[in-house]
Amino acid sequence: MPLDKKQKKQIEVAKKKLVMLRQQLAGAKQQMDDPADVTRLQNEIKAQEEIIQKNKGE
């Protein structure tokens, strides 16, 4: 089933957020000021990945 404009936009935004979150996660792992940040970032990454999967229909 082809994706509509809204789904494509949501996927595009989620992918951009993933790139940013992964960079933040790498930085948080290097500088462990707050261990809760690592967990929070990992949860946000999972949420963005779920959005992508949901919109792709997989």
Q: Is the pLDDT of residue 58 over 70?
A: no
Quick one: average pLDDT of 8-33? 94
Amino acid, single-letter form, for residue 5: K
The pTM of the full predicted model, rounded to 2 decimals, is 0.85
The stretch 15-39 carries a mean pLDDT of 94
User: With 80 as the cut, is the pLDDT of residue 1 above it?
Assistant: no
Confidence of residue 43 (pLDDT cuts 50, 70, 90): very high
Q: Which of 24, 23, 16 is nearest to 51 (CA)?
A: 16
